[in-house]
Structure 1
Amino acid sequence: MWLTGRSIALIAAAAVSLALAALVGIPALLYVTGLCAGLVAVAVVLAVLARPRLVLTRTVTPAIVEPDEPVEVVLDVGVVSGVPVVAGHWRDRLPSTVLGTATGTVPVTGEPRARVEYVVTGRRRGSHELGPFSVSVGDAFGLVQRSLVAGGRDRFIVLPRRHSLDVRVGPAGATDGATRLHPTSGLGQDDVIARPYLPGDALKRWHWKATAHHGEPMVRQEESELRPTVLVVLDADPRVHDHAGFEWSVSAAASVVAHYGGRGFDVDLATGAQQVSLESGHGLQDALVVLALAEPDSSPLIIPARERTTFVMTGSLDSTSAARLLQAVPSRDTIAFVARGTSEDAHGALAAAGWHVVVRDSNEDLEAAWAAATGVPA
């Protein structure tokens, strides 16, 4: 609780009136002294008796957003008090990772609750907390004010930035894509359908009519036997990443997950001890949220043993970290995106295991690295 400038002026006027009454001998000035000092005293007493309490409801829409997408925050503010008070300036605390202005004056509506709102934008992927909220309240004459705080916080999540990827994926020389698919139900051995091209699918499997119809490479698949599946691995080990490199890997992992999930593939995402599975692309947002919240983590990768096309997003490897990845990732059909600075021994170990290794820089466009993995000109 504090006295406003108006109270300070009344106290000063009371002091001057008292001094003049004593020096000049004008008793009437004592009435002015009493009036000024009395107003301030009454305001202080009422502020003590009021015991105001802040009631707040914060609504954040939407709670999960794309990069650079605005978020609307609506605050329903009410003050419960033993005596009438007036709400003034409000402020909702924002983290440094958020752009926006969350201050203003509570509108006078005559209702017990008032509505204020503002718009913010997340500067980077991840979870962003809003709050606590504070508002100043005072008496009707503006003599005494105090600050009320509502400690509740709400958050919104910004998904990783993603990039469109070329549908012509897979390094040259990969084996037949059928080895990277798992069983599913169908109608019979003769039921042949077309599915999107997988890394390394043989030319003999191409479905030319479906390719012409869809405008992207399609291959023949026996519905009763096969369904396309890929694995995306984000190596979050802090020993192989700097900040820029880790962000590149997160964005690349999100782009690959969205690329295949949006095309109806089964996609498994693994990062540290966390795993998320998308069946026919369903659950894509859950996987993107996991990546949005991903932080460097030295937990060992846990990946079920199953042969399928695998994409590994990692950093600058030495022979030890390369051996760790080779032990954790079960698939031999693997495309690994590694940072420049990876040792020759690590590069050689991955290549010897049959992995296709793509060296990238932290400031390199994902599309260029993807083209390097596919052999398709950027």
Structure 2
Amino acid sequence: MARRESILTTRGQSFLSAGVVLLAAGLLIGLGDLTRLGLLLVGIALAAVLVGRRSPSWLQARRTVSPDVLTVGEHATVDLALTNVDRRRSPLVVAQEQLAYVLGDRPRFVLPGIAGGQVRHVSYTVRPTARGRYRLGPLLVRVRDAFGLTSRLAQVPSDDAILVLPVVVDLGDTRLTSAGSGAEGTVPQMVALHGAENMSIREYRLGDDQRRIHWPATAHRGEPMVRQEERPALRRAVVLLDSRRSTLGPDGSEAFEWAVSAVASVVAHLDRRGFAVHLVTDDTLDDCATATTTDAALEVLALARVGDDETYPEVVRAAADLASLGGVVVAVVGAGDRVDDRVVDRAGDKDRGAVASSGAATDGSDAAVLAAARHPGTTSAALVLDPAAFGHDGSRSRHRPSRPHHHDRGPARHDGGDVSATVQVLRAHGWRTVVVQGSESVDQAWAALDHPDGGRR
């Protein structure tokens, strides 16, 4: 058990002060009884300090959280089991649980004496207001000596924590379909039956169950053939989270939290519909090639933080590599502040082939880099957050110096025109786009992608 420095109470300070005065007076006037009385008072105060410095290891704490994983706004009950591991009865103490402020008020309670070896349970409720992983504890107890001369706070160490997931919004029945939906997993080479089961036929191998012999195929091939039930191929989906500080603001900003919730909702939505979902963020660059599950993605997103702009091209490149195999691509991004006017002019051309050939996808602008991640035959959708609508101006210069030779690519737009410019570049490359103005919920923005013209401007 860790401890803090012992503190003399008012009574303890009075004892020590009186003892020092009496000791000095006795030595000054030569009264032995007065000197001995002063020594007694000083000795009692110092003894109390020494005793108080001893670590009271009689208390242990164990927490049980129900549920142990929750989303923002949900309530969880924490059961705090306090055990007196000493053989003697514990003293009465005042205790306070240490919690992050986003979990709610810090509970305080009086802990009566606990018999040796006994357990006392105390429960309290937490209601997190932000996602993340938060530590529960340590428990602080105020310990006093028997004479009331010292009082100090000692903490009971704890490794308990609670994980708060981002909010997942039900996105309804809106679907993003594509002729090139991609495939992930084994596709049966020979389908024997067309029904609820997905089966393929292969040659009989030693040890196969004879009840799985497919007699029609055996008669046709002239050799034993067996049924092999295989998992159907999954459609591929790539979900990208833009975590640039310059476009979505700092950690905890409204825009970034909206983006994280949107990505979590999209992943859950596509996973329920049988897609093999690949989540691409700053934190998943090393393993985004492996399809994720909703639970695993939510754990990653619960700890997501804004990153530097330098990693954004790597995130887009990883998403483009996955999208090259086909599938649906969904990106939740902020409107970048580096959109070349010349790119916007070319993006206004209705001939998309002319836009691509003119170099819009290779000029280095943020919007063009993302636009090039779409491959022919795939469905790509982008939820573009307007920084100004979320109270963030999107100016990159506030966070880090501008890129060198920025003027060589033409003037950049910092007056809010970047949103429309980003949308124009993306739509010119075949993306469905929706501009999120801050007042819309995630399901409303997602439903707008089903608009015939590919979304709202």
Task: Please give the range of the TM-score, normalised by the shorter of the 2 chains.
Answer: 0.7 to 0.9
Show the counterpart of 1:314: 333
Equivalent-residue separation in structure 1 for 2:276 and 2:155 (angstroms): 48
Equivalent-residue separation in structure 2 for 1:226 and 1:189 (angstroms): 16
**Alpha carbons of structure 1 residues 179 and 333: separation in structure 2 relative to 1, 3 Å:** same
Show the counterpart of 1:52: 55
Equivalent-residue separation in structure 2 for 1:133 and 1:100 (angstroms): 14
What per-residue deviation string (whole Å, max 9, x for no partner) do you get for residues 113-155 of structure 1? 6544422121111122233332121223433222212454432
Query: Which stretch shifts more, 56-65 or 2-11?
Result: 2-11
Task: Give yes or no for contact 1:235–1:313 (8 Å, CA) kept in 2.
Answer: yes
What per-residue deviation string (whole Å, max 9, x for no partner) do you get for residues 58-95 of structure 1? 32413321222223334444678999873512222222
**Alpha carbons of structure 1 residues 6 and 37: separation in structure 2 relative to 1, 3 Å:** farther
Equivalent-residue separation in structure 2 for 1:6 and 1:63 (angstroms): 45
Which amino acid is 2:114 matched to? T
Which amino acid is 1:288 matched to? L
Task: Give yes or no for contact 1:49–1:82 (8 Å, CA) kept in 2.
Answer: no
What per-residue deviation string (whole Å, max 9, x for no partner) do you get for residues 232-287 of structure 1? 111112222132221111111111111122344321111125155786xx732111
Which residue among 326, 329, 332 is the counterpart of 2:371? 326
Q: Is 1:180 the equivalent of 2:182?
A: yes
Q: How does 1:266-285 map to 2 (within 5 A)?
A: 266-274=276-284, 275=287, 283-285=293-295
Show the counterpart of 1:233: 240
Structure 1 residue 328, shift from structure 2 partner: 5.0
Q: Is 1:158 the equivalent of 2:178?
A: no
Equivalent-residue separation in structure 1 for 2:71 and 2:445 (angstroms): 23
Equivalent position SS for 1:86? coil
Name structure 1 gaps, 5 residues minimum.
19-29, 196-222
So what's the TM-score if we normalise by structure 2?
A: 0.61
**Number of residue pairs matched by the alignment:** 331
Show the counterpart of 1:104: 109
Which amino acid is 1:249 matched to? A
Structure 1 residue 13, shift from structure 2 partner: 9.9
Equivalent position SS for 1:108? coil
Structure 1 residue 313, shift from structure 2 partner: 0.5
Which residue among 237, 259, 263 is the counterpart of 1:253? 263
Show the counterpart of 2:26: none
Equivalent-residue separation in structure 1 for 2:62 and 2:93 (angstroms): 18
Equivalent-residue separation in structure 2 for 1:43 and 1:85 (angstroms): 23
Equivalent-residue separation in structure 2 for 1:314 and 1:306 (angstroms): 22
Equivalent position SS for 2:334? coil
Structure 1 residue 324, shift from structure 2 partner: 2.6
Q: Is 1:148 the equivalent of 2:157?
A: no
What per-residue deviation string (whole Å, max 9, x for no partner) do you get for residues 308-356 of structure 1? 0111111113432112323456674200110234444422221122111
Equivalent-residue separation in structure 1 for 2:186 and 2:195 (angstroms): 13
Equivalent-residue separation in structure 2 for 1:109 and 1:83 (angstroms): 9
Name structure 2 gaps, 5 residues minimum.
1-5, 23-32, 199-229, 340-364, 387-415
Show the counterpart of 2:445: 369
What per-residue deviation string (whole Å, max 9, x for no partner) do you get for residues 155-207 of structure 1? 2111111111121323xxx642x533345344606525599xxxxxxxxxxxx
Equivalent position SS for 1:311? strand
Structure 1 residue 41, shift from structure 2 partner: 4.7
More strand by share: 1
Which residue among 349, 359, 374 is the counterpart of 2:425? 349
**Alpha carbons of structure 1 residues 175 and 327: separation in structure 2 relative to 1, 3 Å:** closer
Task: Give yes or no for contact 2:86–2:116 (8 Å, CA) kept in 1.
Answer: no
Equivalent-residue separation in structure 2 for 1:257 and 1:241 (angstroms): 20
Task: Give yes or no for contact 1:135–1:148 (8 Å, CA) kept in 2.
Answer: yes
Task: Give yes or no for contact 2:132–2:164 (8 Å, CA) kept in 1.
Answer: yes
Identity of matched residues, %: 27
Root mean square deviation of aligned Cα: 4.0
Task: Give yes or no for contact 1:100–1:119 (8 Å, CA) kept in 2.
Answer: no
Show the counterpart of 1:297: 307
Show the counterpart of 1:202: none
Which residue among 89, 93, 115 is the counterpart of 2:94? 89
**Alpha carbons of structure 1 residues 165 and 48: separation in structure 2 relative to 1, 3 Å:** same
**Alpha carbons of structure 1 residues 315 and 40: separation in structure 2 relative to 1, 3 Å:** same
Which amino acid is 2:186 matched to? T
**Alpha carbons of structure 1 residues 113 and 360: separation in structure 2 relative to 1, 3 Å:** same
Show the counterpart of 2:384: 338
Equivalent position SS for 2:297? helix
